[in-house]
Amino acid sequence: MEGITKRFGDVVANDDVDFSVEKGSIHALLGENGSGKTTLMSVLYGLYEKNAGTVSIDGEPREFESPRDAMDAGVGMIHQHFQLVETMTVLQNIVLGREPTEMGLVDTSTARSDIEEICSRYDFHVDQYLDTKVQDLDLGARQRVEIVKSLYRGADILILDEPTAVLTPQEIEDLLDLMEELADAGHSLVFITHKLGEALDAADEVTVLRDGRAIGTVDAAGTTEAELARMMVGREVQFDRPPRDPPEGDFVLNAEGLHVRGSRGLERVTDVDLGVREGEILGIAGVQGNGQTELVEALTGLRDVDSGTVRLNGEDITEANRRHRIDAGIAYIPEDRTTEGLVQDYTLVRNALLGNQTVEPFADGGMIDWSVVNDHAEAIIREYDVQPPDEGAKAKSLSGGNQQKFIVGREIEHDPDVMIASHPTRGVDIGSIEFIHDRLLELRDAGMGILVVSSKLDEIQKLADRIAVMYEGEFMDTVDPETTTEEELGLLMAGHDAGSGHGGGAGDDAPDGGSGRE
């Protein structure tokens, strides 16, 4: 694939990406969520039409208008969410769309022998349950069915989109073995993932994507997790860290022994302690998907905790709902501005009320005073430089940076005690990034306690007074940004303990970064 560019409206999902896979090898495509991995592969698989670039297979340029074209050219894709009909049997699922027929009827015995032939070549164990309904299989088996389905359709190139996300550790091991077997037999595999370890274990080569661009391709044997982590999170903008005094205020937000489950019921946050002081920014660094989302949701009242306590100004608010926490003074800049932070179909006026429904003077006795809300929206737009300055514009008509500035303004105007900002500048233009950073630093100087979650190292290093690094649901360490290098942070983010034990406690002084094992 050369020079692939794919735009969705104004958003560039893939920007001039070059990507090539050698025959008979496993190639990992590594990047954070939203970095453009799946989009790139969907272009290869014919799901999306590219805006520019060429796709060549075996050196021959090809144009795919649909997945069927791609399949005919030997490209198969196994999606993150399996594309199986649960009420049909394994055999029916495998032949679906490519049924061998005899006089218009499905020729089951030919299908069966074809599938058994494929299965006999590899260690699939799928042929044992050809007549079982898919709904009765576990997820690992379903995935193998998907792979057999692609092979049955003659796939030489197999794309696996985050194949390990739903699997148990044992199933992951089996899958990686199977992938190796397939590669040895001459198939080419693309393995989409955001997990560093797996990419290194499974792949021969690794290509890292960030913000839709290919950052580089490296040999798996010649790289380290720390290097990959750095490539993933990047540091395009160099921020200067403003000088500051160490904060000595009281703790405003504390969490002790937090355990939180994710949406799939798995534990995503394990025994996390944290404390945010007045006039301090605590940064939480880490590769995305290591429990930061669940931690923030537990702190803001959007997700129940399994065990542990959350305190605001010393008061136990573990059981308090979201509304109560807003009223108690926790402001929250959410991770996803399009689904959470703004109602896309609402005007900015209506959005200015979001989260303020119980706050006077906007609402009094259950009735909303829209003229006050209107003034409030105008004030946010003016003071936070939201473009275009039109309070009647719908949220979805604004660019990402302006949407974010509006949210930041609205949350700051709550006059909270604690600000929790999750990826406050993701997908935001550089000018707005500076603006948002300046506002957060001003708030810090004014004595607010701020928690910033970000996977951008430069952002964390610029803003934070202390940095806690999160890996697989745990705090690896809490470090001082003044004395910690990016390499050390990279190692921590990749799960290498820096030597001083985990659990950056509420009262811990920032320990030294220490050195990694490699």
Residues within the interface to other proteins (CB under 8 A): 302, 321-323, 325-326, 332, 334, 336, 338-346, 350, 353-358, 363, 366-368, 370, 396
Cβ at position 8, least distance to other proteins in Å: 9
Task: Give every CB contact of residue 104 below 8 A, 6+ residues apart in sequence.
Answer: none
Cβ at position 510, least distance to other proteins in Å: 32
Cβ at position 231, least distance to other proteins in Å: 31
> 235 φ, ψ to 5°?
-160, 70
What is the amino acid identity at position 111? A
Cβ at position 53, least distance to other proteins in Å: 24
Instruction: Decide whether 227 or 297 has the Cβ nearer to other proteins.
Output: 297
Alpha-carbon distance values, 8 to 13, 129, 388, 397 (Å) = 7, 42, 21, 14
Strands (E) located in 213-300: 213-219, 251-261, 267-277, 280-285
Report the run of H or E that residue 331 belongs to, with start and end: strand 330-333
> 400 φ, ψ to 5°?
-55, -45
User: 10 Å Cβ neighbour count for 293?
Assistant: 24
Cβ at position 360, least distance to other proteins in Å: 11
Instruction: Decide whether 406 or 471 has the Cβ nearer to other proteins.
Output: 406
In the block, which residue shows the tokens 């999306």? 48
Q: What is the distance between the alpha carbons of residues 392 and 346, in angstroms, rounded to a whole number?
A: 9
Q: Which DSSP string corresponds to 222-234?
A: G--HHHHHHHHH-
Instruction: Decide whether 318 or 338 has the Cβ nearer to other proteins.
Output: 338
**First CA to last CA across the chain, in angstroms?**
34
Instruction: Decide whether 409 or 503 has the Cβ nearer to other proteins.
Output: 409
Report the run of H or E that residue 74 belongs to, with start and end: none
Q: How far does Cα 187 stand from its chain's mean position?
A: 29
Cβ at position 442, least distance to other proteins in Å: 24
Instruction: Decide whether 260 or 464 has the Cβ nearer to other proteins.
Output: 260
Instruction: Decide whether 164 or 351 has the Cβ nearer to other proteins.
Output: 351
- The 3 state secondary structure assigned to 13-27 is EEEEECCCCCCCCEE
Cβ at position 380, least distance to other proteins in Å: 15
Instruction: Decide whether 409 or 516 has the Cβ nearer to other proteins.
Output: 409
Report the run of H or E that residue 307 belongs to, with start and end: strand 307-312
User: 10 Å Cβ neighbour count for 157?
Assistant: 22
Instruction: Decide whether 367 or 446 has the Cβ nearer to other proteins.
Output: 367
Strand partners, 283: 452, 467
User: 10 Å Cβ neighbour count for 63?
Assistant: 11
Cβ at position 362, least distance to other proteins in Å: 9
Instruction: Decide whether 235 or 323 has the Cβ nearer to other proteins.
Output: 323
56, two tokens: 């060549």
Cβ at position 143, least distance to other proteins in Å: 25
Cβ at position 269, least distance to other proteins in Å: 19
Q: What is the distance between the alpha carbons of residues 399 and 83, in angstroms, rounded to a whole number?
A: 34
Instruction: Decide whether 262 or 514 has the Cβ nearer to other proteins.
Output: 262
